[in-house]
Amino acid sequence: MVQKILLILTWWKTFFGWYTHLDNIVEYKKTLSENIFACIEMCRLQYIDIIVMPVKRFYDLLKWKTTLEEEKRKLIKEGSKK
């Protein structure tokens, strides 16, 4: 019950902050759209799977996958130098 209340309060705070900053809405939508399609491309997930994913998990997945790809590139670059 407490978790539900915290979730609702967090959602409300996020929504209120987003809704009252109209200048940022267009940029937020653009960035979100780019992040969604980047996630589709990098993780090979369906659009619907990403949309129903919790927001924190979505951004954590993007961060993890980006870090993984950077490490992979570094290892390949080091391997090609040898």
Contact 40, 50 (CB under 8 A): yes
Instruction: Determine the pLDDT at residue 68.
Output: 92
- For the chain, percent of residues with pLDDT exceeding 90: 30
What's the mean pLDDT in 2-31? 65
Torsion sign over Cα 48, 54, 55, 58: negative
For residues 55-60, give the mean pLDDT.
90
Domains of the chain, residue spans:
2-81
Sign of the torsion formed by the C-alpha atoms of 44, 45, 50 and 55: negative
In whole angstroms, give the CA distance from residue 62 to residue 69.
11
Structure tokens at 30: 């653009």
